[in-house]
Amino acid sequence: MLSNSYESLLKAYSQLWKNRFLVDSDSISAEEVIKEAIKRDLSDENSHPRARKSKDRKFILATNRIINSDLTNDVKVALVNLHIQLLYQLEE
C-alpha cells in the first residue's frame, strides 16, 4: 500500500478513535503509526488488564465502528482489511 494511502487511513482512523494516543507521525511513517495503533487496540492495551476483551471481540467492535461510520466505502474496506491483516499477525 502506498504511504499516501496509509496517511489517509491514519486520518480516517483518527476520526473514528478521537481519544486514541498516536505516536508523533513526524518521527515514524504513517504506516507504522496506524499499524501500532490498531495492534494496541486489538490487544486492548488501552484498558485495565482485568477489563480487557479478547482480540476477536475487539475486532468485531472495531469492524462495527468502521462499517457504521460516515467514511467512504473504499476507506472502510481498507481499514477492515488492515485490521484483518494485523489480527492474523497477532495470533501467530
- Is the pLDDT at 27 greater than 90? The verdict is no
Q: What percent of the chain has pLDDT over 90?
A: 66
Residue-wise pLDDT for 52-87, tens only, equals 899 999 999 999 999 999 999 999 999 999 999 999
Helix %, strand %, coil % for the chain, to 5? 65, 0, 35
Mean pLDDT calculated for residue range 18-24? 75
Mean pLDDT of the chain: 88
